[in-house]
Amino acid sequence: MFCAALTPLDADLAPDHAVFAKHCRHLLSEGCDGIALLGTTGEANSFSSGERKALIESVVKAGVSPSQLLPGTGVAALTETVELTRHALSLGVTTVVMLPPFYYKDISEEGLYASYSEVIQRVADARLKVVLYHIPQMSHQPIPHAVIARLRAAYPDTIVGIKDSSGDFANMTAMIEKFPGFAVLAGADPLLLPLLKKGGAGCITATSNLVARELAYVFRHYNDDDAALEAAQNRIVKARERASQFAQIATLKTLLAQQTGHAGWRRLRPPLLPLSQENADKLLATVPQKEPV
């Protein structure tokens, strides 16, 4: 169970390394198995390569084990994807989450396969494990099953899983059935429980920034079918619904600022913007007083 971690920003809208390291330690203490940093929720595509590298370096320096980090390294430029992936490996991070190239549209399956294949060949490191990132509503580039099959056949020790943030549960279960041993990870918090029951591997989700303990409980007790499991799932669903009332990243940051008492969490880097005060007030009015956000 991995958290798609938010990225805190300082007054200059640069990643706040100290606050981020503290957040990572908190998430791990709440039961997360690892931190998926610099993904969609972490505003990765708003940061330069240098900023991305510095954030990973800072969290490793702060004592978080590289084995607990799953950074996003997929960007539009092939050579930059290689650079970011090699950098992660140089720090001891061996598993990365990799977006497909996402600027050019209507890319052929051959082109998509060639892009991932070229990155793996150029990185040329047997330690590398790649979790594909299927989020077509953002990338406008789906990852078809035929491409997954080719990549797994060519690089069976490298292409180890996929984060499916499409919300298409049928696609997730189809991959579980089609690709034995391939880790299918849900990108939507409420889908963790049903996916585990179908043989899924877990999740990389945004609302775990707020309800990591509940998601960890579901991950470890999904076969119990008792009142505690039902209660945890209900809190997860409510938290996800609350986080989806307005623009998700801004909403999550507003909720995390309220939960931690650190107002700086509300900052986003343009073009993303914080919630208006009116919407923030509406959101926070829905937060129960005696249960986790």
Residues assigned a catalytic role: 40, 103, 133, 163
φ/ψ of 110, rounded to 5, equals -65, -40
- Residue 191 is classified by DSSP as G
Q: Whole-angstrom distance between the N-terminal and C-terminal Cα of the chain?
A: 19
- Edge to edge, the sheet with strand 34-36 lists 34-36, 2-4, 202-205, 183-186, 159-164, 129-134, 95-98
Q: By C-alpha distance, which of 134, 38, 156 is closest to 87?
A: 38
Largest CA distance in the chain: 53
Q: Rounded to the nearest 5°, which phi and psi values hold at 183? A: -80, 110
> Which residue, among 204, 201, 154, 157, has the nearest Cα to 175 in the 3D structure?
201
112-115: long-range pairs with CB below 8 Å, 24+: 112/141, 112/143, 112/144, 112/147, 113/147, 113/150, 113/151, 115/78
Return the structure tokens found at 178: 């089609």
Token readout for 207 is 């609302």
